[in-house]
Amino acid sequence: MENLEIVKNLVDILEGLKAKNVEALDISQKSRDIKVLIIASFKTEDEVKLAASSFIEQAKALNLELVHKDGLTKGQWVVLDYGEILIEIFHEPLREKYNLEKLWKDGKNKLFEQVKVKAKKLAKSAKK
């Protein structure tokens, strides 16, 4: 499975869990180890904890190795390390406070836009 397809599947999982403002950033030029940073948020800490646990279970189907996880018990900021792909799930107020999108602004949202375009093309071809 190529990276764009994996990223699309991970974004789909988060959107299926009703995550807010899901962003997939290509940070390969800024980070030696991490190629993609996916950021999402939820309104409550309980939603963060439940969504993160559910995300981990659903991501197993993609045969990705979860290298490290942190923050599951507090529900404010959960980090899920899948090697070259890092997932950060925030409680909304904390996401606003740290504003990682601004920190990684050079990564822009190019990858997420590519994922959206690819998904639209697949949907159109499936209708034919």
Does the pLDDT of residue 116 top 50, yes or no?
yes
DSSP 32: S
Q: Which amino acid is at 83?
A: G
Q: What six digits make up the tokens of 69? A: 């996880």
**3-class state of residue 99 by DSSP:** coil
Tell me whether strands 85-91 and 77-82 are parallel, antiparallel or unpaired: antiparallel
User: What are the residue ranges spanned by the domains of the chain?
Assistant: 3-117
Band of pLDDT at residue 1, cut at 50, 70 and 90:
very low
Band of pLDDT at residue 29, cut at 50, 70 and 90:
confident
Give the torsion sign (CA, 90, 16, 113, 29): positive
pLDDT per position as a tens digit, 54-79: 999 999 999 999 999 999 999 999 99
**What number does CATH give the domain 3-117?**
3.30.460.10
